[in-house]
């Protein structure tokens, strides 16, 4: 066994504004699946900032299975995300669906998410490569580690090295969870490509009851960051409410993540420090 797998000797740091991802401290990204209202996103920003998050997440352009499901607030959503993040000293992460959105995304988004369903959209990958914008590349839920890493290479080959990988679960024969979190993919991806890996326990779990277990597994498995869905009122959420951690439970989850991080030689930002950032 190589204990180095959990350390980051060969992992490149990705610096986004004042945040360095891939070092000993995990980067916490949290917020609702979708931006729904000013009140909702400001409440989320306040709580996640006070609990150690550096990034506020929230989708404005949603990829939904059904065309009749909520599709997001679009540009208005991105404006709200930026305002809420700025108010609490946070950076923003949100999915960018198409090449035409990239220029405008720079105004609002610090880290552009390429969604699971777009992981093999090679024109989009190349466009992000040319753009130089920091990218969070989610693993396609039907894709092997190899295919995921090749997708990342499309971005890297255009000269953009600010790439974070995101393990968010893959489809297996198991249906008790929404997807199956592939914990081994974390050290394998890091060893193969030397990029930081962010773990998304929310989409893998599909239900809030399993989010804590997958969060802690992701930290123990060497994740360099966490992307977690949280909502002030999950029952009223317009997307992915079942898997959303209640905002008032988020701080306790981060506290547990911090204890597991310590066991593998990593840290999670302490809540008190975070409150200072928020002010
Ligand atoms: C999301 O982050 O809300 C999302 C849609 O993720 P994925 O692309 O992993 O399904
Ligand atoms: Mn979601």
DSSP per residue, 33-58: SB---HHHHHHHHHHHHHTT-SEEE-
pLDDT number for residue 279: 42
CA distances from residue 180 to 156, 167, 175, 201, 202 in whole angstroms, order as listed: 27, 10, 9, 10, 11
Q: For residues 279 and 277, what is the distance between their CA atoms, to the nearest angstrom?
A: 5
Q: Residue 238 C-alpha to ligand 2 middle, in angstroms? A: 10
Cβ atoms 5, 194 nearer than 8 A: no
Q: What is the pLDDT of residues 151-184, one digit of tens each?
A: 999 999 999 999 999 999 999 999 999 999 999 9
For 136, residues 6+ apart whose C-beta sits below 8 A from its C-beta are 93, 111, 112, 113, 114, 164, 165, 166, 198, 227
Task: Answer whether 59 contacts ligand 1 (Cβ < 6 A).
Answer: yes
CA distances from residue 251 to 62, 101, 261 in whole angstroms, order as listed: 27, 33, 15
What is the sign, positive or negative, of the torsion defined by CA atoms of 181, 96, 149, 116?
Answer: positive
pLDDT number for residue 256: 98
Query: Which atom of ligand 1 lies closest to the CA of 200?
Result: 9
Which CATH number is 3-246 given? Answer: 3.20.20.70
Cβ atoms 7, 102 nearer than 8 A: no
Instruction: Spell out the domain ranges in the chain.
Output: 3-246
pLDDT number for residue 54: 98
pLDDT number for residue 272: 53
Task: Answer whether 33 contacts ligand 1 (Cβ < 6 A).
Answer: yes
Spans in the chain with pLDDT lower than 70: 1-7, 272-279
The 3-state DSSP class for residue 204 equals helix
pLDDT number for residue 1: 46
In this structure, how many other beta carbons lie within 10 angstroms of the beta carbon of residue 252?
Answer: 12
pLDDT number for residue 249: 98
pLDDT number for residue 4: 53
Ligand having the closest approach to the CA of 115: 1
pLDDT number for residue 2: 53
In degrees, rounded to 5, the angle at the alpha carbon of residue 254 between the alpha carbons of residues 13 and 82 is 65
């Amino acid at each position: 066994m190589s204990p180095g797998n959990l350390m980051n000797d060969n992992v490149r740091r990705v610096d986004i504004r004042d945040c360095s991802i891939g070092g000993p401290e995990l980067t916490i990204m949290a917020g609702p699946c979708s931006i729904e209202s000013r009140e909702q996103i400001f409440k989320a920003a306040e709580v996640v900032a006070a609990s150690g998050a550096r990034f506020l997440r929230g989708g404005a352009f949603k990829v939904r299975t059904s065309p009749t499901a909520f599709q997001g607030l679009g540009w208005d959503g991105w404006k709200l995300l930026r305002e809420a993040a700025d108010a609490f000293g946070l950076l923003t992460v949100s999915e960018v669906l198409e090449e035409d959105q990239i220029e405008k995304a720079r105004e609002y988004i610090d880290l552009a998410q390429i969604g699971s369903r777009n992981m093999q959209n090679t024109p989009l990958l190349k466009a992000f490569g040319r753009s130089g914008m920091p990218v969070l590349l989610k693993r396609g839920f039907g894709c092997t580690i190899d295919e995921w890493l090749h997708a990342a290479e499309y971005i890297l080959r255009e000269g953009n090295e600010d790439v974070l990988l995101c393990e968010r679960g893959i489809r297996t024969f198991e249906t008790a969870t929404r997807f199956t979190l592939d914990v081994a993919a974390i050290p394998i991806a890091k060893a193969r490509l030397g990029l930081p890996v962010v773990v998304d326990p929310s989409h893998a779990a599909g239900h809030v009851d399993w989010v804590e277990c997958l969060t802690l597994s992701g930290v123990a498995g060497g994740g360099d960051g966490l992307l977690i869905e949280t909502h002030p009122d999950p029952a009223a959420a317009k997307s992915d409410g079942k898997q959303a951690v209640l905002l008032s439970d988020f701080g306790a989850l981060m506290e547990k993540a911090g204890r597991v991080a310590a066991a593998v030689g990593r840290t999670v930002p302490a809540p008190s420090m975070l409150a200072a950032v928020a002010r």
